[in-house]
Structure 1
Amino acid sequence: MDNPNDVKELIPEFFYFPEFLENQNSFDLGRLQISKERVNDVVLPKWAKSPEDFIYKHRKALESEHVSAHLHEWIDLIFGYKQRGPAAVEALNVFYYCTYEGAVDLDAITDEKERKAVEGMISNFGQTPCQLLKSLIESVFPFGLKAQQDSSPLNMFEHLGDLKSFFVEGISDNVPLVKAVVPKNQSHSFISQGSPDTMVIITAWWGPMGEMILLTSNHDRFLYISPSRTQRFLSGPFAPGVELVAGLFVVSHDGKLLFSGGHWDNSLRVTSLVKGKTVGQHIRHMDVVTCLSTDHCGIHLISGSRDTTCMVWQVLQQNGAPVGLSSKPIQVLYGHTDEVVSVAISTELDMAISGSRDGTVIIHTVRRGQYMRCLRPPCDSSLPLSILHLAVSWEGHLLVHTCLEGKATLKDKNTLHLYSVNGKHLCSEGLKEQVTDMCVSGEYVIIGSEQGYLSIRDLYSLSLCSEPMAMRVPVRSVSVTKEQSHVLVGLDDGKLIIVGVGKPAEMRSSQITRKLWGSSKRMTQISTETEYNTHQETRCK
């Protein structure tokens, strides 16, 4: 590595593929010449605990602020004005002449031996990339990045010690708040200055015909118009025995459609939140739809059912906006022997994931519906094991929540398991709480529990990043805004809790009233947020 004539680059696998460091197929790679030790897995440096840790730290270094601030210097050497000429000589960035584009015209060499010799030199020394920038230009990348960071809301995961909670009044007092989400397609963050946002809130209010009431609130920041002006009804009763949980509902990325399961006729329904009526009713499952999930881009939706099958649906688009589902599923996935209770999907990684009460997690491909693998989370008990929650990260890390059925105490009942994108079990962590909802955001796992705790864990180690926040009543749903500025927590008593980094100065009620509602609006017509006490008296693991 100290030879200036020997230029090496790390292959892309160094930043995403830990399996290449292991001899998983037990190939005979020979023995070392001196010690005669058999060559097997790559010997890792002392700072790496495992191949996964090695790749993770490589990727963190590549994506660090230092690299971002100096990336233009590397671009100048490889693609820019320092690739050739006097600037390249001054930067000691000169290579063998055959490596440069256009330096040799092979077609002009008539002597076959000479031509093969030149081809051999090019093959041996490699090729320098095309020169894209041939003059000195001012690099604005670091400054542009800093300006973008300064204008973005604070990332709550970078300030875990400064988190505060506020609850929004007048939402659904004493009525369970099943789901609260901010649509992902909004151009601004949850509390951007002067940006009217939409939040979809699903509450378990029941009408005279068994319908469920939804609240879709057009608001700025933490303000809400009275529910009577914005409520929508989800028509038709739910099936007997169906528990209304966050996993039964998916909101489209633009916040205008609601996909729901759990209905008495085994249908998967599409409800327009703008018109307040059902615009699609798909009956393909033979039993009740128990869980739904959509991918990061809103291209596909996956449904699980009591009939042990899963179905992948295409979300139809019109002018870039979701308008419904395909008339029939594009894939029907089999393999479970009991009710499917959790699903997750990643179109980017071509993964459709399902968890069942039979204790298995099955992974299929999205595009072809091909079976990939079956995961059985480790368990020392002989009691039945259910896969109650699933979540998948951008990099393909699969988070599995398992629960022992029929166990009265919480000790060793609930466990989190982490798997790699290729199904390797990485770690497990026992919980002293009953998980009610969980999601993955970046490198963090957010979990709500029946015991009323909101906890944030590191995705790769599953360890707690900070003390759990005591919500005092059972948590029904958790979701993270797209810029990771806030966590939205729905509670069993109907409160909506907003967790973020402090309370912005522009959130004073007088300013909000003047800016958004005009001087004629009275404060009694809207309700503001109040700090919520999350002091906990007991700690949980």
Structure 2
Amino acid sequence: AAHTLASSGVSAVSGAGADPVALGSMAMANAATATATVTQKISQSININMTATGNVGNHGGHASVTNLSHEDYDLWTQVHIAIVHDLVDLRLKQLYANWKHLHQHVMQEWTRMEEGLSAERGLWGPREPCSLDKWMLDATESGPCRMRKRTLKNKLFYHHYPYIEQQPNQQLKYKVATSLDSKLFYEQQGQLLLGSGPSSPDLVGRQQSLPSTSSDYEGLVSSGSHINNNNNNQQAGGSVIGSAANKQQSSESDEEETEGGQSGGQGTDGSEAEGASQSPHSQSVARLLEEGDKITHMFRCARVQGLDTWEGLLLFGREHFYVVDGFTLLKTREIREIDSLPEGLHEPIIPNCTPVTSASRATVAQGRTCSTFAYDDVREVHKRRYLLQPTALEVFSADGRNYLLVFPRKLRNKVYARFLSLATGITDSAQESLAGQRRSANVESGAGILSSLIGETSVTQRWLRGEISNFQYLMHLNTLAGRSYNDLMQYPIFPWIVADYDSETLDLTDPKSFRDLSKPMGAQTPERLEQFCRRFKEWDDPETPPYHYGTFYSSAMIVASYLVRMEPFTQHFLRLQGGHFDLADRMFHSIKDAFTSASRHNMADVKELIPEFFYLDEFLVNKNRFDLGAKQSGVQLDNVVLPTWAKGDPREFIRLHRAALESDFVSAHLHEWIDLVFGFRQQGPPAVEAVNVFHHLFYEGNVDIYAIDDPLKKNATIGFINNFGQIPKQLFKKPHPAKRVDPAGAKPLFYHRIESLRPSMHPARELKGPVGQIVQQDRSILAVEQNKMLLPPNQRFVSWGFADYSLRVCSYETERCLLVWEQVPSGEVLCATCPDAKTIITAGTACVLSVWTVTAKRLELRDQLAGHTEPVTCIASSRPFNLVVSGSRDESCILWDLSRLAFVRQIPTEFGAPVAAVCINDVTGDIAACAATRLYVYNVNGVSIAHVDTAASLTTVQARGQQILCVSFSQLNEWDKDNVVMTGSSDGVLRMWSLAVDHEGSSIVLRGKLTMHTAFERPDNKEPAAVTAVGISRDHRHVYVGDARGRVFQWSVSSEAGARSDHWVRDDTAEQCSNTACQVKFSLTERRHHCRNCGQLFCAKCSRYEAQISRIDAEKSVRVCHSCFLSLSTASN
């Protein structure tokens, strides 16, 4: 017995009066470190002769045997048997926990694979999209100026809005949230599951769309997640967190990394990773790590998105950092899943955060993510506040993801410093920064010489100089003031702009069309202004300072009510409303009614707008077909009622509304509104003078929720902040400078003067083969042949089409081959695109898109995207929108997510021919697709806008000679109605098209065409050729046309009215005067004149005719030929 107990690590207590209970507890504590051998050693001690009695002691390392009573021996035996039982039970529980987490991991991976195989265009999925599919706004900022336009498939829509058959006599005070499509969906699902319904293409492969129990939703990850579930990482990751599980941490290290201990056994908010225990929960986290990565530090955090909060862990690795939802770090350094903790044990980071219940577990699991970020991809990190407390950080990634993370008190600055030390690639450029200026620049700094010399130009100075638009400037100010898309309580704020909602056309030159930007919404009319001033003067409450407005111009309810027709904001609205829609008369239904309510009629309404009113048209349409009820007047709520001048088109409303924001009147007065919201009139006496004072709890620094001991008062304060909003951070202490507007100083753009574009007489560039791509860089023109693509920043190009199916990277200047990749496993490459310097996407006869990562001397295959059934013929990408579009010989056009490398949706098409060319507008996200002679235009989400047959007036034989070969967008001032889509065709003509909107809808109209040098229809073109590429200069004053002969011609905007234009006949092709009454043959000395109207040549004797031509913007009469003079005179009379 002595030898057995000593070898098992149990320290016995000497003496006959030893306490067996104390001895047993000591034995359990020591034996826990040797669980693998204790069973065998204890079993040996039981086999000792039962007649032997003794007392075990340890003196100087030698065991001594003393007399033990039989009762003590029995008690000892029972204690050790209990130890064995507990240890075996513990190991069994760990085994079950390991199996459970492994099973959960495998099921998630299986579900992901099954969804991929059975999804639309998948191996077992339907060929065509389902008409009942629903979509939700992607939280990723995929667009310029922090816009969010893209939508993702909403897989849980019919789970949130099931069909509920209402009883005939059932009367409800509030309308139950449901969709009119729910009944149809459930009927079709029932037919499909019972096998009695037809195999509709819409429903094939969609049996799993509606799980039968809530448990099916556990472990699901939203489609917006970025998950790494590589099975190869399990062993490597599993040993990372627990690699030093048995190492002891010193108390000094514990105090350094721990802030604010909690009761109940959980108190570690931040820790070095060496202290994490090897638990099943930590192994589950380890599976999510990148292969070979090791965690160095971890911190508790809470991720905020909308009204939802997910508590989890922020893990810092060597090359990546991770945000893992649903786990926490205990005081014992153990990683535990929050759902597994007993009720009352877990203290949330965010006060008043309700614990997860079984009823809400499905919804919570659906929103959980594990996101991986490479340090090189971290764009910016900003300090933020949450519930008016300085406890949050907002992390922005280069791919558009951004997370708002809340930390325990006093821990935020430590995490912020760690981000700055690890993410060395954080942007510090004014042009690339989300704030519009460098981190060291002061937004209120002047435009002095010293600031300009050291490059400390503020975003305000950039706006004053006209470098950025009004929309960009307001987004930059919102970012600097701490406003975030992730927090509905601190959503970005934009002003009401327009006051005229009744006119047939919106006159942006009339000041009466705009609201008064120098006054808040509560002071727009004298009547309301008087009432608010009286409230302030007559206020008599010693505990609350006087204020004008008891409500705020931005709150979670205001944001959710504006976006109620679009998910996930419908869910946010329902949470704020207690699970149902509001009364129809109080719902957001009309733009005009919302403005009059906020500016005149409602004393409790002073709301402003949100950014979506200036770029997102889909929130105005009830695409989800929610049953929003009917007003007392009988009007059924559906789509938002638009102003008359919008012609019933949401896109036209957004375009005109944005044009109003960028108008000269708003530019000259926008600084007055900035003074109210972000400037010196926000607080203090200037705010009183401007009638701009709100309740004191709206302002930062007036409340510390952590210092409130009374739970009721604390919850009431938090509820007030949540419901009524928060004042932005004050950015300006002095009056904001006004922007000087010079309408005459604006330079003309090429699409404003299409008829007077001046062509070059000789090629600007000449290549060895048909032109494939044209790009302007600085002041030079870069062009490459077909089967080549410039690799940003355009110093190299990728080449393909070789007999060995290789890919090659060559220098643009020397054309010397730098790298060669042979045996590319994707068949013959037919097309490629390079969204950035590190990514190449190829496609071809293998019918898949191959995504390659370019390193110094390697080409690594990241993924292959399958969806087409025939060779891919064209491909285009947009890094601002993280979007790829591909067209195929099978007449399909598919959108892919560039960041997630996943299928997004198939564009509904009726091409009737292989897709020949595709293009993405990097400013608006609009997509153009061409097949044969047809041009289709879609928005960024694949919704059709308009289409046109460019050869509608031609016969079938003639149309064969007018096939579209290339397409491109103008990409400047997206609110300009004159923007064009350009198509180059096999007939050598470059055509320019614009979208026209009327009450019947949108259509594509021909604005003009360029024919000189390339068009086959012109007899004066000696060497016509098909147009194979088109490019536009950055300032949109030049157009570049490449043809099949390798020539690049330039068309430019001329400042001279009536100067040489495209329709002019070339001098060397005319032999005589075009005047039929003259027809004098031109000699070498004869001066030739061009008719400004028809372009024909006439002699000096026939140059006496002049007329005014409105389309060329000539202020005076210009020379025309005799026949044009007669026709123009007749038309003017």
Is TM-score (shorter-chain normalized) higher than 0.5?
yes
* TM-fit CA distance, 1:534: 12
Alignment of 1:304-453 (within 5 A): 304-316=843-855, 327-379=859-911, 384-394=912-922, 395-403=924-932, 414-432=933-951, 433-442=962-971, 443-453=979-989
CA contact (8 A) 1:165 1:497 kept: yes
CA contact (8 A) 1:270 1:279 kept: yes
State the alpha-carbon separation in 1 of the partners of residues 707 and 1037 from structure 2.
61
Secondary structure at the aligned position of 2:949 is classed as strand
* TM-fit CA distance, 1:357: 0.7
* TM-fit CA distance, 1:330: 2.1
CA contact (8 A) 2:764 2:1049 kept: no
2:674 alignment partner in structure 1: 75
CA contact (8 A) 2:788 2:799 kept: yes
State the alpha-carbon separation in 2 of the partners of residues 310 and 113 from structure 1.
58
* TM-fit CA distance, 1:135: 2.4
Alignment of 1:129-208 (within 5 A): 129-136=728-735, 139=737, 142-143=739-740, 154-169=748-763, 172=766, 177-179=770-772, 181-184=774-777, 186=778, 190=779, 197=780, 199-202=781-784
Secondary structure at the aligned position of 2:876 is classed as strand
1:268 aligned to 2:819?
no
- Deviation string, structure 1 residues 453-473 (Cα, Å, up to 9, x no partner): 222222675634632122332
CA contact (8 A) 1:340 1:354 kept: yes
State the alpha-carbon separation in 2 of the partners of residues 255 and 7 from structure 1.
50
- Deviation string, structure 1 residues 8-61 (Cα, Å, up to 9, x no partner): 1223332333222222222322232331x5432222232223223223333333
- Deviation string, structure 1 residues 82-125 (Cα, Å, up to 9, x no partner): 11123222322222222222233445555554444444444443
TM-score by length of structure 2 reads 0.35
1:454 aligned to 2:454?
no
State the alpha-carbon separation in 2 of the partners of residues 83 and 467 from structure 1.
51
1:500 aligned to 2:1048?
no
1:483 aligned to 2:483?
no
Q: Report the AA paired with residue 760 of structure 2.
A: F
CA contact (8 A) 1:331 1:368 kept: no
2:303 alignment partner in structure 1: none
**Higher helix share goes to which structure?**
2
* TM-fit CA distance, 1:389: 0.5
Q: Report the AA paired with residue 397 of structure 1.
A: D
CA 1:161 to 1:64, structure 2 compared with 1: closer, same or farther past 3 Å?
farther
1:43 alignment partner in structure 2: 641
State the alpha-carbon separation in 2 of the partners of residues 31 and 357 from structure 1.
48
CA contact (8 A) 2:793 2:837 kept: no
Secondary structure at the aligned position of 2:841 is classed as strand
Name the larger-Rg structure. Answer: 2
Structure possessing the higher relative contact order (Cα contacts under 8 Å, 6 or more residues apart): 1
State the alpha-carbon separation in 2 of the partners of residues 23 and 114 from structure 1.
40
CA 1:114 to 1:333, structure 2 compared with 1: closer, same or farther past 3 Å?
closer
State the alpha-carbon separation in 2 of the partners of residues 160 and 293 from structure 1.
30
2:405 alignment partner in structure 1: none
CA 1:169 to 1:119, structure 2 compared with 1: closer, same or farther past 3 Å?
closer
Gaps of 5+ in 1: 191-196, 204-244, 317-322, 404-413, 505-530
1:468 alignment partner in structure 2: 1009
State the alpha-carbon separation in 2 of the partners of residues 170 and 275 from structure 1.
19
CA 1:331 to 1:65, structure 2 compared with 1: closer, same or farther past 3 Å?
farther
Secondary structure at the aligned position of 1:98 is classed as helix
CA contact (8 A) 1:96 1:125 kept: no
State the alpha-carbon separation in 1 of the partners of residues 854 and 668 from structure 2.
39
CA contact (8 A) 2:809 2:818 kept: yes
- Deviation string, structure 1 residues 347-391 (Cα, Å, up to 9, x no partner): 332222110010001122122321111123125xxxx52111101
2:533 alignment partner in structure 1: none
State the alpha-carbon separation in 1 of the partners of residues 1050 and 729 from structure 2.
50
State the alpha-carbon separation in 2 of the partners of residues 171 and 373 from structure 1.
39
TM-score by length of structure 1 reads 0.70
Q: Report the AA paired with residue 757 of structure 2.
A: L
CA 1:268 to 1:435, structure 2 compared with 1: closer, same or farther past 3 Å?
same
State the alpha-carbon separation in 2 of the partners of residues 342 and 96 from structure 1.
58
CA 1:180 to 1:482, structure 2 compared with 1: closer, same or farther past 3 Å?
same
- Deviation string, structure 1 residues 473-518 (Cα, Å, up to 9, x no partner): 23232111223221111234554311111279xxxxxxxxxxxxxx
State the alpha-carbon separation in 1 of the partners of residues 854 and 613 from structure 2.
35
1:218 alignment partner in structure 2: none
State the alpha-carbon separation in 2 of the partners of residues 465 and 431 from structure 1.
9
- Deviation string, structure 1 residues 125-172 (Cα, Å, up to 9, x no partner): 3221111211235x26x34x869x96x975323443432111335954
1:52 alignment partner in structure 2: 651
CA contact (8 A) 2:774 2:1042 kept: no
State the alpha-carbon separation in 2 of the partners of residues 503 and 54 from structure 1.
33
- Deviation string, structure 1 residues 406-439 (Cα, Å, up to 9, x no partner): xxxxxxxx11111122221121111123212221
2:70 alignment partner in structure 1: none
**Higher strand share goes to which structure?**
1
Q: Report the AA paired with residue 881 of structure 2.
A: L
State the alpha-carbon separation in 2 of the partners of residues 361 and 447 from structure 1.
18
* TM-fit CA distance, 1:276: 2.6
Secondary structure at the aligned position of 1:483 is classed as coil
CA 1:335 to 1:91, structure 2 compared with 1: closer, same or farther past 3 Å?
same
CA 1:126 to 1:172, structure 2 compared with 1: closer, same or farther past 3 Å?
closer
What is the identity percentage for the equivalent residue pairs of Structure 1 and Structure 2? Answer: 32
CA 1:358 to 1:161, structure 2 compared with 1: closer, same or farther past 3 Å?
same
CA 1:119 to 1:94, structure 2 compared with 1: closer, same or farther past 3 Å?
same
CA 1:457 to 1:65, structure 2 compared with 1: closer, same or farther past 3 Å?
farther
- Deviation string, structure 1 residues 311-349 (Cα, Å, up to 9, x no partner): 223355xxxxxx77x512322111111111110112332
CA 1:251 to 1:117, structure 2 compared with 1: closer, same or farther past 3 Å?
closer
Secondary structure at the aligned position of 1:372 is classed as strand
Q: 2:797 aligns with which of 241, 244, 258?
A: 258
* TM-fit CA distance, 1:308: 1.0
CA contact (8 A) 1:167 1:495 kept: no
State the alpha-carbon separation in 1 of the partners of residues 1094 and 886 from structure 2.
36
Secondary structure at the aligned position of 1:385 is classed as coil
State the alpha-carbon separation in 1 of the partners of residues 656 and 1055 from structure 2.
34
State the alpha-carbon separation in 1 of the partners of residues 747 and 654 from structure 2.
29
CA contact (8 A) 1:419 1:425 kept: yes
State the alpha-carbon separation in 2 of the partners of residues 109 and 310 from structure 1.
58
CA 1:275 to 1:153, structure 2 compared with 1: closer, same or farther past 3 Å?
farther
